[in-house]
């Protein structure tokens, strides 16, 4: 609150004696006394102004002056944006809106009036004339507007991306967790089965059924069991569930006693044994006798065994 | 094309003449493209406004002045006036330039901008303090208009309420309105000047008419005029009106500084006044009242 009364640089400095005398007379009261300010000069020469106005006025047709007096136009939505009495001088938005509405009202009144007088108000498209602002300037204005718009769009996009990423991350975490859970359950079930707690192998069937139900609905697949691709299978075999089988034991008691892979013609013959027999002359084989009786290599035998 | 013999040409001409006389066709007047176009109607409302400033003007105010000159094709420019000269010299300058209205920008302390508007030979005139100046070249002003097209002038309803507003309205109409058929004016109407009254000040806006149904874009410039005084004569004479709510910018700055400086003193005075206002006894009580009061022990 500005203290307008506190003027230490007044012309009449009341001395203490004067104040005492005034107090004795009863003109002053106790407490703080403020020096009243001289009343402000008010000049409002109404008659003079009216006379000057009459002198100044030129009584011309409206077309010469083009002045219109009106209040603000009504808002298009029908809502009242501001009341008449409201002081809008501090509310920037409302104030500008009020000026805008006033201009609109004038336009809505003035343009039809000009049309009635038979004057064209609209500039035709091919009328090129000097504008108040140069083309260069208008280009800058347009660029600025575009920049603002682009900024808004970019911010929106970034926001959307952030939200999407958050959502996507959530989905990813869910899927990973689900997979881990399934793996854990599977392992537990297998362990239980191995330890003999579970008799049936039903957990295997359930999973494939569940999987089929989800994935096989849309696809037109046959009865083939869904398997990962060959590469994945190989890798699983090599690195999954227990590591390498290569260096683990391959023979058991039964496999050692297994004589199904034994062909006496191949394994129990001496080299050159069959040379003199009658059948050989008729059929000269491509490879030669040696190759016919040759025992296949280790990997080939391994493959043959696994195929069986 | 060979030369035709004279006889042949003569006979052709005769033939055409005969044709005209016989048919009695009245040919319409032919307008050739070499003729100058129809002359505009005469410019009768001779208003000329002199727009200039004093020395020491800031760049923003200078741009405002240039914008006003652009907006008003009936304006004339003048070089800066020395501050030494008195204000009534402006009347002579106007007469020399054959102007009957004047807008004079006065800059003080390179901070405050005052605007004088005047009807030059006989008055009246008015002095304003210009605030909140925004020029046409600000990038937020997106509208554009034909250079020199006539503006529609829109006044607030409050301009009809009081005599000083009425006088100012008439003055503005004559100054800011471009005369009809002015040689530098353009034929179409595509912008509107708005004068509104708010907070005892005049707010000026300039809008481009985008569509006839009322959509507008601001062109600029925009400023606020705080009326100080209205004089009877041009740049002088008795005061017709004095704005009671006007605080000069110097005084305004002084008050702000004082407020800051007096903070401590105000606090001390407030404390003192509280002490003075405080009564010695809040309510009358008798000290002998509590002689027979017995304090009972709490149960």
Ranges of each domain in chain A: 60-124, 136-215
Closest CA to A137 of B149, B216, B67: B67
User: Contact A140/B214, CB-based, under 8 Å?
Assistant: no
Put simply, the answer to whether A98 touches B196 (Cβ < 8 Å) is: yes
pLDDT of residue B289: 83
Number of Cβ pairs closer than 8 Å across A and B?
195
Smallest Cβ–Cβ distance between B177 and the set A66, A87, A98 belongs to: A66
What pLDDT does A275 receive? 58
- Identify the bridge partners of residue B152 per DSSP, sorted by sequence position: B192
Partner B contacted by A108 (CB < 8 A): yes
pTM of the model: 0.63
Which has the closest alpha carbon to B141: B202, B63, B212?
A: B63
| A54/B contact by beta carbon, under 8 A | no
Contact assessment for residue B136 and residue B176, using Cβ atoms and an 8 Å cutoff: no
Task: Supply the pLDDT for residue A151.
Answer: 96
d(CA A164, CA A173): 14
Positive or negative: CA dihedral B196, B201, B206, B210: negative
Please give the average per-residue pLDDT across A154-178, as a whole number: 94
Q: Which helix (H) or strand (E) holds A230?
A: helix A230-239
pLDDT digits (tens, 9 = 90+) for B12-22: 555 554 444 45
ipTM score of complex: 0.76
Which residues 6+ apart lie within 8 Å of B120 measured at CB?
B50, B90, B91, B94, B95, B99, B100, B101, B102, B234
Go through A215-234 and write b for each residue having 16 or more CB atoms within 10 A of its CB, e for each that does not.
eeeeeeeeeeeeeeeeeeee
Q: Which two tokens stand for residue B157?
A: 């309803």
Determine the residue among B120, B154, B245 to mutate to test chain A binding: the one whose Cβ has the most chain A Cβ atoms within 10 Å. B154
More confident residue, A163 or B87: A163
Mean predicted confidence (pLDDT) in A110-139: 90
Across the interface, whether the CB atoms of A123 and B164 are under 8 A apart is answered no
State whether the Cα torsion B258-B261-B263-B269 is positive or negative: negative
Chain A residues near residue B127 by CB distance under 8 angstroms: none
A45:B241 CB<8 A? yes
Torsion, Cα of B107, B112, B113, B119 (10° steps) = -80
Chain A CB contacts of B273 below 8 Å: 31-32
Below-70 pLDDT ranges, chain B: 1-23, 27-28, 31-32, 34-40, 299
Quick check: A67 contacting B, CB < 8 Å? Answer: yes
The residue of A67, A90, A142 whose CB has the most chain B CBs within 10 angstroms, and thus the best one to mutate to test that interface, is A67
Predicted confidence (pLDDT) at residue A282 exceeds the cutoff of 60: no
A52 with B199: Cβ contact below 8 A: no
A105 shares contact with chain B (CB less than 8 Å): yes
pLDDT in tens, A3-62: 444 444 444 456 788 888 888 887 777 777 777 777 778 888 899 899 999 988 888 888
Task: Give the DSSP letter string of B99-159.
Answer: -SEEEEEEEETTTEEEEEEEETTT--EEEEEEEEEE-TTSTT-----BTTBPPEEEE-GGG
8 Å CB contact of B276 and A30: yes
Torsion-angle region of residue A261: left (phi > 0), alpha (psi -120 to 50) or beta?
alpha
Nearest-Cα distance to chain A for B7, in Å, is 51
- Residue A211 clears pLDDT 50, i.e. is over it: no
As a dihedral over the C-alpha atoms of residue A112, residue A113, residue A118, residue A121, rounded to 10 degrees, the angle is: -60
3-class secondary structure, B18: helix
Q: Do B171 and A133 touch (CB under 8 A)?
A: no
Return the higher-pLDDT residue of A279 and B214.
B214
Query: Which region holds residue B132: left if phi is over 0, alpha if psi is between -120 and 50, else beta?
Result: left
Residue A1 has what pLDDT?
A: 44
Partner residue opposite B232 with nearest CB, options A52, A100, A130: A52
A146 near B CB under 8 A: no
Among all residues of chain A, which has the CA nearest to that of B188?
Answer: A121
Q: Which two tokens stand for residue A209?
A: 């059924």
**Contacts with B194 from chain A: Cβ below 8 Å:** 99, 102-103, 106
Q: Would the CB atoms of A103 and B216 count as touching at under 8 Å?
A: yes
């Amino acid at each position: 609150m500005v203290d307008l009364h506190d003027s230490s640089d007044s012309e009449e400095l009341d001395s203490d004696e004067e104040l005492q005398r005034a107090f004795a007379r009863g003109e002053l009261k106790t407490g703080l006394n403020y020096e009243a300010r001289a009343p402000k000069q008010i000049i409002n020469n109404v008659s003079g102004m009216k006379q000057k106005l009459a002198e100044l006025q030129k009584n011309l047709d409206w077309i010469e002056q083009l002045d219109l007096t009106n209040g603000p136009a009504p808002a298009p939505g029908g809502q009242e944006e501001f009341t008449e009495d409201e002081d809008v001088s501090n509310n920037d938005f409302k104030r500008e809106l009020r000026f805008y509405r006033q201009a609109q009202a004038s336009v809505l009144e003035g343009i039809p009036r000009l049309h009635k007088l038979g004057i064209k108000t609209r500039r035709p498209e091919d009328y090129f004339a000097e504008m108040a602002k140069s083309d260069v300037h208008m280009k800058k204005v347009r660029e600025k507007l575009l920049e603002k718009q682009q900024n808004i769009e970019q911010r929106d996009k970034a926001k959307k991306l952030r939200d999407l990423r958050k959502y996507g991350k959530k989905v990813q975490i869910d899927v990973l967790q689900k997979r881990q859970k399934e793996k854990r359950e599977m392992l537990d079930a297998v362990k239980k089965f191995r330890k003999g707690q579970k008799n049936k192998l039903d957990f295997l069937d359930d999973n494939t059924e569940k999987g089929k139900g989800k994935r096989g609905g849309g696809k037109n697949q046959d009865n083939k069991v869904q398997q990962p691709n060959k590469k994945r299978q190989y890798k699983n075999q090599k690195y999954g569930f227990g590591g390498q089988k290569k260096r683990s034991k391959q023979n058991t008691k039964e496999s050692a006693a297994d004589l199904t892979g034994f062909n006496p013609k191949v394994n129990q013959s001496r080299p050159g044994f069959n040379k003199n027999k009658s059948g050989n002359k008729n059929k000269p084989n491509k490879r030669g006798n040696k190759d016919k009786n040759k025992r296949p290599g280790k990997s080939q035998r391994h493959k043959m065994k696994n195929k069986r | 094309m060979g030369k035709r013999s004279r006889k042949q040409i003569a006979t052709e001409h005769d033939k055409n003449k005969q044709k005209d006389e016989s048919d009695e066709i009245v040919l319409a007047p032919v307008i050739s493209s070499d003729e100058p176009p129809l002359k505009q109607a005469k410019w009768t409302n001779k208003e000329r406004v002199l727009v200039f400033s004093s020395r020491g003007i800031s760049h923003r105010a200078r741009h405002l002045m240039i914008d006003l000159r652009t907006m008003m094709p009936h304006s004339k420019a003048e070089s800066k006036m020395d501050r030494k000269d008195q204000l009534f010299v402006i009347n002579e300058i106007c007469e020399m330039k054959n102007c009957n209205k004047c807008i004079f920008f006065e800059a003080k302390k390179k901070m405050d901008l005052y605007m004088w508007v005047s009807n030059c030979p006989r008055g009246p005139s008015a002095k304003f303090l210009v605030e909140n100046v925004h020029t046409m070249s600000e990038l937020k002003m997106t509208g554009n208009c034909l250079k020199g097209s006539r503006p529609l002038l829109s006044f607030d309803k409050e301009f009809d309420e009081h005599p000083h507003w009425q006088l100012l309205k008439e003055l503005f109409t004559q100054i800011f309105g471009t005369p009809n058929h002015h040689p530098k004016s353009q034929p179409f109407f595509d912008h509107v000047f708005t004068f509104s009254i708010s907070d005892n000040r005049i707010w000026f806006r300039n809008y481009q008419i985008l569509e006839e149904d009322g959509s507008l874009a601001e062109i600029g410039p925009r400023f606020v005029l705080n009326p100080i005084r209205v004089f009877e004569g041009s740049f002088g004479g008795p005061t017709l009106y004095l704005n009671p709510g006007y605080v000069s910018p110097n005084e305004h700055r002084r008050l702000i500084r004082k407020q800051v400086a007096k903070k401590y003193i105000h606090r001390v005075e407030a404390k003192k006044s509280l002490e003075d206002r405080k009564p010695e006894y809040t309510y009358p009580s008798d000290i002998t009242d509590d002689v027979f009061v017995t304090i009972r022990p709490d149960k």
